[in-house]
Amino acid sequence: MFSRIASYLKRKPLLVAPVVAVSAAAAIVPILSPASTSTAEPRQPAPRDQNQNNSELVDNVVFAIHGGAGTIRREDLTPELEESYRKALTRAVRTGYRAIEEGRGSTDAVEAAINTMEDSPLFNAGKGAVFTTDAQNELDASIMDGETLDAGAVTGVTHIKNPISLADDLMRNSRHVLLAGQGAELYAQHRGFDLVTQDYFFTQRRWESLRDAKNGESRFDFGETNTVGAVGLGPNGNLAAGTSTGGLTNKPVGRIGDSPIVGAGTYANNETAATSATGTGELFIRQAVTHDISALMDYRNLRVDRAANAAIDKTEEIGGEDTGGVIALDRDKNLAFVFNTEGMYRGYATEDGDIVVKIFADE
């Protein structure tokens, strides 16, 4: 990775050149001679995972969240860290449930619950986001309203404390659905959002993860992303879903995964389900996982958990094992947790206010 980092740093200033030279008369001005080395990372053909997914169907659910699926083993979590996660998951579920109970609507509930996880350093969203290969935090988020199919999403934002709230504002107040980087932050300024500096997102834990990745002490891990998401059903029968993430540790600058992509990381339709995904974003984009779950329910009349299992299986067909998971809530209050990894941070609240949180596959 070092040569790649070095060349990033070496070339970066040169990228500014054409902007300065916009008014130059030349037709085509080469900026760089071809790079002498390629950083291509060919995809590995992956065998189909024959194992069953971890799949749970719970009824009478009005709100649910996830905090990422991945290689989560008991031996990797200290009792203290495990307890911290369970408290944070419980807080997020309670926050969303209360919003539903107060009749604030499912999109508000999804935003409020995700805000608590964005503000917690435990999750890879907002505070505590992972670092790109250029040691920055680039955040993605999306939210969707199942009644209107309105959606809002932002990608590559670097100064937004709560990206899901910016996505929600875009959904409610703009004709546009997806804004990237500086443009998203210009919109945020127009809308009165306070922007934060990059150091706000810093955590020692994620910084060390970047160091480990660059020192080859961890594989380029698609497994444990700590992406966060939420799904809710409002008293009016409206479904909503949202997802927020910092992406992958050591990801290339500008890499976009499934989280900000409507139909890949997030989808909601009152006729089918509200779904948030977490895992290997590239596979989830190529299989349009969250829209596929909606389509399988709509066109094949599959039950929500069967649709979710089928969609996760498709990511295994192109990506092998441990691709990730989804949470999906249908309009009849049936919640599906489906993941093919060793664990998924997750929780839900029933109509009666019972709150359950889980981390490991065998819970």
The set of catalytic residues is 227
**DSSP assigned state of 75:** G
Coil, helix or strand at residue 215: coil
- Number of residues that make up the chain: 363
Nearer to its own copies, 124 or 137 (CB): 137
Binding window for its own copies (CB under 8 A); candidates: 54-62, 72-80, 183-191, 205-213 = 183-191
**DSSP assigned state of 116:** H
Nearer to its own copies, 65 or 188 (CB): 188
Nearer to its own copies, 39 or 71 (CB): 39
CA atoms within 13 A on the CB side of 353: 4
Query: Is residue 15 close enough to count as binding its own copies by CB under 8 A?
Result: yes
Nearer to its own copies, 38 or 78 (CB): 38
Taking the alpha carbons of 91, 93, 94, 95 in that order, is the dihedral positive or negative? positive
Size of the site for its own copies (CB under 8 A): 91
The residues in 262-301 that bind its own copies, with binding defined as CB under 8 A, are 262-264, 267, 281-282, 285-288, 291-292, 295-296, 299-300
d(CA 346, CA 228): 9
d(CA 226, CA 247): 9
The residues in 39-98 that bind its own copies, with binding defined as CB under 8 A, are 39-43
Residues forming beta bridges with residue 56, ordered by sequence position: 337
Binds its own copies by CB under 8 A, chosen from 32, 52, 75, 79: 32
Binds its own copies by CB under 8 A, chosen from 129, 178, 228, 308: 178
Asked if 298 and 86 count as a contact pair (C-beta separation under 8 A), the reply is no
d(CA 78, CA 88): 15
Q: Would you give the binding string for its own copies spanning residues 133-172, x where CB under 8 A is met?
A: -----------x---xxxx---xx-xx-x-----------
Binding window for its own copies (CB under 8 A); candidates: 66-74, 86-94, 109-117, 250-258 = 250-258
Q: Would you give the binding string for its own copies spanning residues 302-321, x where CB under 8 A is met?
A: ----------------x---
Closest of 250, 254, 286, 279 to residue 43, by C-alpha: 286
Coil, helix or strand at residue 15: helix
Nearer to its own copies, 77 or 318 (CB): 318
